[in-house]
Amino acid sequence: MTVTPMSTQSAIRASNQPLGGASGDWSHRFLRFHLPFALVSALVLVVFNTFPLFDTNAYPHVDIRSGAFPQRRERMGGGPAGVVRPGEDETVQQRERGGGGPMAPMPSEHGGGQAAPSEHGGGQAAPTDRGGDRAARMGEGEMMGMGRNFFLGLSMRQWTVGTGYVATGLLGLTLLIGPANLLLRRRNPVSSYWRRDAGTWTAIVSVVHVIFGFQVEGSLTINGILNYFFAPDGSPLTNSFGWGNWTGLAATVIVLVLQVLSTDAALREFKARTWKNLQRLNYALFALVIAHAIFYGGVVRQESPYTLLLILSVIAVFVGQGVGVWLWRRRYSCTTASQAA
């Protein structure tokens, strides 16, 4: 009878542990999972808000209000279609053409509840004065207030987009941990703490994203929020902006439900099989997140690095899931064959 040394047994157990380990100790999870997720998320957000490459105003905005799908915006003052000068909001161009006031809502990368630039009829503000005459009549406080509001508007849009893509990256990670375990021939349990904690940070950043998104318009009132989903006559919005918000709402509900279910108590209550089936809502969540980004013009702005990040996320998840399904079937067939023998 051969006795396996304790060191060898420990090495075998370690090599068979799922990625991130199997310890549920809170201090272990805080240091190994929660703290890194928080730091990496913060670092990525700093990059998104610092580097000009990720400036949401550096790329053409799209029309998400004229139809059910986003389209490149036509310039109203001539020039090539869909072009907005880098670093300049379309509202500035509209003011240069004599339309809209200085505080007119500005189109955003994420959308928000902002009003679209008026192209027809009444309701459009009278042409504004320009240059020194206007500045001379404005008080210093008013000018500072305008500058502060403009800065906050830009920052809010930037944070909305940044948190959205960080949440998408974290969500993609939750869908790649299982295939990675199979690829590395590690144990792939029904529930792993690394995947569960990645889901926790997906939910946290998603909620922050929603809060910033609602504030692009500058209001978190009930009426302000309803404007994201319903037209003034009370009918549901079915343009690209509306569908983007409806898919975002569904995704938010699912991510919060998954977060409530991602506890040891829920696992004990529902048992492994039922709990795992509920956790498969993660696939629907990813599909809704991608649809949300598409309806907000995520693939129309081909010049934007965010479009590349979105496409790479989809490819990574699809390839990872495909490889994971193939490896799982191969492992299951081998186990069945050995048991039959």
Tokens of 50: 């610092």
* The pLDDT value given to residue 337: 58
Is 12 part of any domain? no
Is 290 part of any domain? yes
Number of domains in the chain: 1
* The pLDDT value given to residue 15: 61
* The pLDDT value given to residue 107: 37
In this structure, the number of other CB atoms found within 10 A of the CB of residue 108 comes to 25
pTM of the prediction? 0.74
Q: What is the DSSP letter of 122?
A: S
CB within 8 A of 228, min separation 6: which ones?
A: 112, 113, 214, 237, 241, 242, 245
In this structure, the number of other CB atoms found within 10 A of the CB of residue 209 comes to 24
* The pLDDT value given to residue 340: 58
Is 44 part of any domain? yes
Do residues 209 and 163 lie in contact, with contact meaning Cβ atoms separated by under 8 Å? yes
Tokens of 231: 């037209």
Segments forming the whole domain that contains residue 172: 26-53+149-340
* The pLDDT value given to residue 218: 63
Is 318 part of any domain? yes
Helix/strand/coil for 61: coil
Is 60 part of any domain? no
Phi/psi for 160 (5° steps) reads -65, -50
Look-up: residue for tokens 């998408």? 168
Is 112 part of any domain? no
pLDDT per 10-residue tile (average), the chain, 341 residues: 49 66 85 95 95 90 91 57 40 37 37 39 41 48 48 74 97 95 88 93 97 82 91 94 97 97 91 92 97 94 92 96 90 64 56
Rounded distance, CA 111 to CA 245, Å? 9
Q: Any alpha helices (H) in the chain, and if so which ranges? A: 6-15, 26-29, 35-50, 90-96, 131-137, 140-183, 193-214, 222-226, 240-261, 264-279, 281-295, 305-340
The C-alpha torsion from 270 through 272 and 275 to 278, rounded to 10°, is -140
Whole-angstrom CA distances from 250 to 166, 182, 235, 246, 278 are 18, 30, 18, 6, 16
* The pLDDT value given to residue 61: 82
Phi/psi for 26 (5° steps) reads -60, -45
Is 135 part of any domain? no
Is 156 part of any domain? yes
Which amino acid is located at 111 in the chain?
A: G
Tokens of 334: 């081998």
Q: What is the DSSP letter of 316?
A: H
* The pLDDT value given to residue 146: 46
Tokens of 333: 């067939």
